[in-house]
Amino acid sequence: MKCVLYDRECIICGECEFCDINPNKVCDNCGKCIEVDGDYKIITIDEVEFPDS
């Protein structure tokens, strides 16, 4: 699996699980990191991965 933060294979470091605003907190998908002042908000999804069943 590819790392979502760096150009490498995932080494299961857990860095992608932490909050962008408070690095001492595990991300709870609150969305505060994507809230900005403006008329609209946009998120680009590059890929959707499904866990192996």
Q: How confident is the model at residue 40 (pLDDT cuts 50, 70, 90)?
A: low
What pLDDT, on the 0 to 100 scale, is given for residue 37? 66
Q: How confident is the model at residue 41 (pLDDT cuts 50, 70, 90)?
A: low
Spatial contact of 16 and 6, defined as CB atoms under 8 Å apart: no
Higher per-residue pLDDT: 45 or 37 = 45
What percent of the residues of the chain are helix, what percent strand, and what percent coil, each to the nearest 5? 10, 10, 80
Q: Is pTM beyond 0.75 here?
A: no
- Residue 15 has phi, psi (to 5 degrees) of -60, -30
Which tens digits make up the pLDDT trace of 7-39? 999 999 988 899 888 889 999 988 888 766 666
